Structure 1
Amino acid sequence: MRTKLFILMAMMFSTLAFSQKSELKDAEKALKNGDATAAKSSLESISGMIGGADERTQAQYYFVRGQVFADLAKKGQASAFDEAISSYQKVIEIEDASGKAKYSSDSRQMLAGMTSDLINAAVDDNNNKKYKEGADKLYMAYQLSPRDTIYLYYAASSAVNGQHYEQALGYYEELKKLNYDGSTMSYKATNIETGEVEEMNDKTQMDIMVKSGTYKDPVMERTPSKRSEIIKNIALIYTQLGQDEKALQAYTDARAENPDDVNLVLNEANLYYKLGDKDKFKSLMAEASAMAPDNPDLQYNIGVINMEQGNLEEARTAYKRAIEINPGYVNAQLNLSTTYVNEGNGLIDEMNSLGNSRADIARYEELKKQKDELFREGAIVLEDALKNNPDNQGILTQLKNIYGALGDNENFMRIKKLLGE
């Protein structure tokens, strides 16, 4: 009885082995015919029993499986990349353990080729605004080729573009831990015929082109390090995620890395305001202003932050300084005007709450006079701006609204005419 049972079991294993080899051959044939879906179906029919097969059959199964999913990935099935990678890695794992390497070399080549496929697919994803999918593929490419850390950097950028901040933060933290620099050497020379500076692939090409007499003035430059940008982005993302304590520490790290970045100071100041530390806010704003007193964009940004925080006098001072440095700074002029309009609008609620008593009527007239004076201040700013920008639609539209609110029909109609209405 035992002998018969043994023979029966042997026959079963023989049948299973035959079935596995048959399905593998069917899968390979389907692949050659370009039918990856049929090949996948053949593999799925034996997937549950492949664990009991010999090492050679297992390696063959996972190698074919890798080819199937690699083909599906090229045809647009994003999840297939991960399946292909894990299959090829399984081939290498099995053959390393068995000491019999039949498919490992090809598997490694396929994995190397998949890095390019992942990058190309990620570029397509980003062009189609599928930023998370692009970030996932770039990270897979980095995992396949850890020496190419730039793929991790691009993965973080893709995640930020899609506002997937937690995903981006993980990538940036990994870059920080790796001390990723990202700077490279660039090689340039001037085309003698066109006079334009052109970038070369490497130093050898640059030297050859200069020696040929068609180029001159060779230059080797190192591109800026990306480290300060990475640390800065970590701080900004922690702020975005509302993790304020981590954000403050990140700003400390970022400013140590890049002490001359005034935007870091502004962002840190904004965070302190959010936390209720107005003294630290004012201190940092003064520090930022002192760092670049003649930079109109900085003064404008200081104005924007103060305006957002309701500090209208401080905002006006900054906007006026920006206009003083750059008299044609339209956005600063528009925002300066808006500070007066906003303050005037702030009086309307109290005006509307007043009753009909003599005291209330007197108070109403007083507030209306203040409001109108503030609106006129806003109009004066824009009339001055209009001298250098007579066709600016933003200035004209805001002026029309102010004169409309003032009931100044003459100026209202004048601006409407300038607007072509």
Structure 2
Amino acid sequence: MKKQIIIALAFSISAFSFAQKKELKTVEKAIKSKNFAAAKEALKSAEALMGAMDENMKSKYYYLTGVALFADGKGSSAEVDQAFASFDKVETGSYKEEVDAFKTTMYNDFLTKGNTAYEGKDYGAASVQFERAYRAKATDTLFLYYAAATAVNVKEYDRALKLYEELKDLGYTGIAKEYYATDKETGEEVVLDKATRDLYVRGGSHVKPGERLTESKKPEIVKNIALIYISNGDNEKALAAIKDARAENPDNVDLIINEANIHLQLKDEDKFKSLIEEAITKDPENAVLHYNVGVVSMNKGDLDQAQKSYEKVLSLDPAYTNAALNLSNLFIEKGNVVIEEMGKLGMSKADDIKYEKLKEDKNNLFLKGAGVLTTFIDNNPEANADILTQLKNIYNALGETQKSKEISAKLDAMSGGE
């Protein structure tokens, strides 16, 4: 009797095994004919037999499930996510290799769709496809970065934050070696892949070949994480993100500037100024940094420091329009302070003498303001209308009618005589 039970059990297991194989064969046949709806129906029947499947059969089931759900790239967003989840369950065996090979097919599909969406300025769709490309090929972290960046373009900040945090946790920097050469015909330096660059150099169309590392994207990633936290009202996390990055790279000027900008958004101008000054010690020839110190100093009424900063800017970059305008305006503000003093004087002889002295001081300050602008125009003959308008106003204040008319004529010429 016992023998009969064993034989019956053996037949039962054999029958289950046959049924499993039959259902999965049906799935394979449907996939081969691209009838993915039928494949998914057959998978439901196979799922009922999961309890009796061995590990290899389960791996095959999960593999086929992923393929059916992907449906040659026609699966819904939810189905694609389910396909990835199903593939993740295939851990060992021959079907692990099948999954890896199929993910390459998925990767190419996602990449094609992502690029098409990006070129069509559909950044939301591009972001989703770039993220999927990364999920299909986790070694290609560049597309996780693209997914985050394009999510920012469409203001999907919470999703972008999640992706940027993932990049940060991965230690992604985006640093890569790039190859370049100078096009002999145009004289322009172009970046190419190594094989093409070498081919062009050998052919003689390009010269001065070289290679270099691209800049790290980590400062940008940390900055965007911080800015999203700020927009969400989470300033502590924003500053923590910057400080973590600075701990790893304390001399990175971009990170110092990013931290400074966060404090500026938080209306902490003192901290902003101190950080910008720290950045200047590491990049003393950066005109923008000196300009920012000038602006903050001027806002706080420290006109002497502002003057030093703006003068430094113009020594580094004589074409820095806003620095010239602000420096000129600084002298006008000083002159206006003198005018206020003049208005407080009485009618005595002593006050009259003091009045004339203050008037001379005021005029000298206004002339300094005009001098900043005329020097700027000498260095930049194509100076914009803002420079000329401010100079005209100063001449009017000084009673220099003829000079004011000359500037007006230049402004009329710039506007076409309208």
TM-score range, shorter chain: 0.5 to 0.7
Residue 310 of structure 2: which of 319, 327, 336 is its match? 319
Query: Separation in 2 of the partners of 1:226 and 1:338?
Result: 38
Task: Name the structure 2 match of 1:288.
Answer: 279
Contact kept, 8 Å, 2:65 with 2:83, in 1: the verdict is: no
Report the AA paired with residue 290 of structure 2: Q
Distance in 2 of aligned mates of 1:134 and 1:417: 52
The aligned counterpart of 2:116 is 121
Deviations 1:276-321 (A, max 9, x none): 7666555434433333334333312322344456654433221111
Matched, 1:151 2:143: yes
> Hey, what does 2:374 align to over in structure 1?
383
Q: What is the number of residues matched between the two proteins?
A: 359
1:416 counterpart = 2:411: no
Change beyond 3 A, Cα 1:104–1:269: closer
Q: Say if 1:184 and 1:107 are closer, same or farther in 2 by CA, change over 3 A.
A: closer
The equivalent of 1:67 in structure 2 is 71
- The answer to whether the Cα contact below 8 Å between 1:134 and 1:158 also exists between their aligned partners in 2 is yes
Matched-pair contact (CA < 8 Å) for 2:104–2:137:
no
- SS of equivalent to 2:178: strand
Which whole-Å CA distance do the structure 2 matches of 1:189 and 1:243 have between them?
46
Matched to 1:121, the amino acid is T
Q: How does 1:243-262 map to 2 (within 5 A)?
A: 243-262=234-253
- State TM-score, norm by structure 1: 0.62
Classify the secondary structure of the residue corresponding to 1:54.
helix
The amino acid that maps onto 1:123 is Y
Report the AA paired with residue 111 of structure 1.
M
1:296–1:321 CA contact under 8 A, matched in 2? yes
Q: Percent identity?
A: 36
Task: Summarize the Cα distance change of 1:61–1:152 in structure 2 as closer, same or farther, 3 Å threshold.
Answer: closer
- For the pair 1:231 / 2:222, whether they are aligned, the reply is yes
Question: What residue ranges of structure 2 are gaps of 5+ in the alignment?
Answer: 1-25, 49-60
Q: CA deviation at 1:148?
A: 1.2
**1:12 counterpart residue number:** none
Relative to structure 1, the CA distance from residue 302 to residue 225 in structure 2 (aligned partners, 3 Å threshold; closer, same or farther) is same
8 A Cα contact 2:133 2:143, kept in partner = yes
| Maintained 8 Å contact 1:181/1:225 | yes
How far 1:147 moved relative to its partner? 1.9
Partners of 1:187 and 1:200 within 8 A in 2: yes
Q: CA deviation at 1:246?
A: 2.3
In the superposition, relative to structure 1, how do residues 84 and 246 fare at CA in structure 2: closer, same or farther (>3 Å)?
closer
For residues 119 and 344 of structure 1, do their structure 2 counterparts lie closer, same or farther at Cα, with a shift above 3 Å needed? Answer: farther
Q: Which runs of 5+ in 1 are unaligned?
A: 1-20, 33-38, 72-79
Determine if the alignment matches structure 1 residue 137 to structure 2 residue 129. Answer: yes
Name 1:170's counterpart in structure 2: 162
Provide TM-score, normalisation by structure 2. 0.63
Partner AA of 1:67 in structure 2: A
Kept in 1: contact 2:108–2:133 (CA 8 A): no
- CA shift for structure 1 position 239: 4.4
Cα distance in 2 for partners of 1:94, 1:247 equals 37
Does the aligned pair in 2 maintain the 1:228–1:258 contact within 8 Å? Answer: no
Identify which of 309, 326, 336 aligns with 2:327.
Answer: 336
Amino acid at match of 2:144: L
- 3-state SS of paired residue (2:106): helix
Partner amino acid, structure 2, of 1:169: L
Cα RMSD, aligned residues only = 5.3
Q: d(CA) in 1 for partners of 2:364 and 2:88?
A: 80
Q: What is the CA–CA distance in structure 2 between the aligned matches of 1:187 and 1:219, rounded to whole Å?
A: 6
Instruction: Check 1:164–1:344 CA distance in 2 against 1; reply closer, same or farther (3 A cut).
Output: farther
CA distance in 2, matches of 1:61, 1:179: 33
Equivalent in the alignment of 1:36 = none
Deviates more, 1:194-203 or 1:219-228: 194-203
Deviates more, 1:243-252 or 1:142-151: 243-252
